[in-house]
Amino acid sequence: MDGPIVVVLTVIAGLFGIGLGAFGFFFVWNNVSGKRMETAKNDASHIVEDARKEERRAIDEARGEAKRIVSSGDARIKEADGELRERRQEVQRTEQRLSNREENLEKRAANFDRRENDLTTKEERAAQVEAEFDAMRVQHAQRLEEISNLSMEDAQAELMRRAEEEIQHELALRYRDMEDEARVKADDTAREIISEAIQRQASDVVSEATLSSVQLPNDEMKGRLIGREGRNIRAIEKATGVDLIIDDTPEAVTISCFDPIRRELARLALTKLVTDGRIHPARIEEMVAKTEKELQDTIRKTGDQTVMEVGVRSLNNEMIHLLGRLKYRYSYGENVLQHSIEVGFLAASMAAEIGANVRIAKMGGLLHDIGKALTHEVEGPHAEIGAEIAAKNKVSKEVVATIAEHHDDDHSSPESFLIAAADAISAARPGARRDTVEHYLKRLQALEEVGMAFDGVEKCFAIQAGREIRILVKPEDIDDDAANQLARDVVKKIEQELTYPGQIRVTVIRENRSVEYAR
């Protein structure tokens, strides 16, 4: 490669020199004459000599550059050869790995084929065994039917019947064991919490009926209350909405009304009229209007005092007013406001003991009977009425739920259950409620009828003022497990069919007696 480049450069340099010489010759020839010819020749020779030197220098530089180019090309060729060898080795290694994988896949495919053949053989054998088993089962079933004189359907029905009996027996035993275990664990704690709450929140018992009486200074006042042709008594009854009973009772008149607010209004107005002595229709209307205003103020103050006493916040004026109205409302002879305060404190005490929300329990207990303030004006259960009133007056949803659920079996929160328990505790205290003899006897009779409605019951007695029912069963018809189930069934029927204050305990007694005579 070095020879051709040098030849080319030499030729180029020669041609360059010849050109320069010819250029110089013509230049001298055309521009000099005579004596200057010699000088021109000398100059031309110098020019030629310089051109030859430049030619040699250019040739030397060209040769050096050519050598550098050649050496650089050799290095690149060597580098390319190295990379090519590395790539060839990598390709060989990759081919080797692919070859190994292909061999492994072929081995696995062979194993899979072998396993598939084995599975096919086993499936065929299993199908054969299953067919033989089915045939043997049919033969055995036929043989059993011949021996027992029962068809397959009859045998299955008998087996299911016995299985159900065994399962029911087992369930009754387990239920009894679980009930006993839960009772042992829970009785002490529950008794402690409830006893402490009752002791801390005990209150006086107040009872009142739907009749009020007003004392008179003398019997002459009765005639003045009646007035000429009865105009005064008619004015009183019209203004207050009550029935005024004037009979032979000495120095007293009776006010009859189911609405406690109207009855209290009439009592206060009559007391003021008797004290004032001026009794005529105009004075009656004036005194009733004045008394009604004073009564509303008293109701409002009572509501404010109740809220402050219990420590409840965020109730608006309408809810406070309704709480004040409960002061004049009685249920089974029990004052509803005092009962509500007691339930609020009881529920809050139990909530604090078990870690429930004390605020919700206290407010829900105080408001649980708020619907009774309007039961004389709105139809429906007081729990539903109270929940609607509380919801309309922006009471929290949790408290509204406790009001609606305090007479239900299902409770959406622990606070709701606590309020129902506190309500039952407050109502079940001895002397908290009273009932008429007629209603009392009917309730006892209804309890005994519920107990006698079940098979196997021999006798039934309602005791403890209707708070307990004891059932004597026939031991030959009902065993111990069935007695436990009977107690639960009686409880469910009482809850579904009867209305009663507090709670009722159901006791089932099973007794075996063996009697012999020595002669």
Q: How far apart are CA 157 and CA 142, in angstroms?
A: 17
Domain end call among 103, 123, 142: 142
Q: What is the CATH number of the domain that holds 228?
A: 1.10.3210
Q: Which residue has better confidence, 24 or 418?
A: 418
333's CB contacts (< 8 A; 6+ apart) are 207, 208, 209, 433, 434, 435
For the segment 53-82, the average pLDDT, to the nearest whole number, is 76
Residue pLDDT, tens place only, 70-107 = 677 677 777 878 888 888 888 888 888 888 888 888 88
Q: What is the share, in percent, of the chain residues with pLDDT greater than 70?
A: 81
CA-closest candidate to residue 209, choices 260, 261, 271, 167: 260
Residue 66 pLDDT grade (very low, low, confident, very high; cuts 50, 70, 90): confident
For the segment 196-204, the average pLDDT, to the nearest whole number, is 49
181 assigned to some structural domain: no
CA-closest candidate to residue 360, choices 425, 435, 418: 418
Which pLDDT score is estimated for 207?
Answer: 38
- 260 and 119 inside one domain: no
Both tokens of residue 344?
């609020």
Which pLDDT score is estimated for 14?
Answer: 65
117 assigned to some structural domain: yes
122 assigned to some structural domain: yes
Q: How far apart are CA 361 and CA 344, in angstroms?
A: 7
456 assigned to some structural domain: yes
- 381 and 398 inside one domain: yes
Domain, as residue range, for 55 = 2-142
pTM score over 0.75? no
For the segment 384-408, the average pLDDT, to the nearest whole number, is 87
The domain total for the chain is 3
- 10 and 43 inside one domain: yes
Residue 20 pLDDT grade (very low, low, confident, very high; cuts 50, 70, 90): low
Q: How far apart are CA 313 and CA 324, in angstroms?
A: 16
Q: Which residue has better confidence, 139 or 454?
A: 454
- 453 and 419 inside one domain: no
Both tokens of residue 129?
């065994």
Residue 40 pLDDT grade (very low, low, confident, very high; cuts 50, 70, 90): low
Backbone angles phi, psi at 349, to 5 degrees: -65, -45
Lowest-confidence range among 125-139, 156-170, 180-194?
A: 180-194
Question: Hey, is 244 helix, strand or coil?
Answer: strand
Residue 430 pLDDT grade (very low, low, confident, very high; cuts 50, 70, 90): very low
As a whole number, the mean pLDDT across the chain is 79
- 410 and 380 inside one domain: yes
Which pLDDT score is estimated for 217?
Answer: 82
204 assigned to some structural domain: no
Q: Which residue has better confidence, 495 or 515?
A: 495
Q: What is the share, in percent, of the chain residues with pLDDT greater than 90?
A: 3
Residue pLDDT, tens place only, 221-264 = 888 888 888 888 888 888 888 888 887 778 788 888 878 888 88
- 267 and 316 inside one domain: yes
- 297 and 355 inside one domain: yes
Look at residue 3 and tell me whether its pLDDT is greater than 60: no
189 assigned to some structural domain: no
Residue 26 pLDDT grade (very low, low, confident, very high; cuts 50, 70, 90): low
Judge contact between 268 and 294, C-beta under 8 A.
yes
Amino acid, single-letter form, for residue 160 = M
Domain end call among 99, 127, 142: 142
- 370 and 227 inside one domain: yes
486's CB contacts (< 8 A; 6+ apart) are 454, 456, 457, 471, 473, 478, 508
- 406 and 474 inside one domain: no
Residue pLDDT, tens place only, 474-502 = 888 888 888 888 888 998 888 888 877 66
- 21 and 107 inside one domain: yes
Which pLDDT score is estimated for 80?
Answer: 79
379 assigned to some structural domain: yes
- 421 and 497 inside one domain: no
Which residue matches tokens 């026939």?
474
For the segment 274-301, the average pLDDT, to the nearest whole number, is 88
Q: What is the CATH number of the domain that holds 462?
A: 3.30.300.20
- 374 and 499 inside one domain: no
Look at residue 288 and tell me whether its pLDDT is greater than 80: yes
519 assigned to some structural domain: no
Domain end call among 409, 428, 447: 428
For the segment 16-38, the average pLDDT, to the nearest whole number, is 59
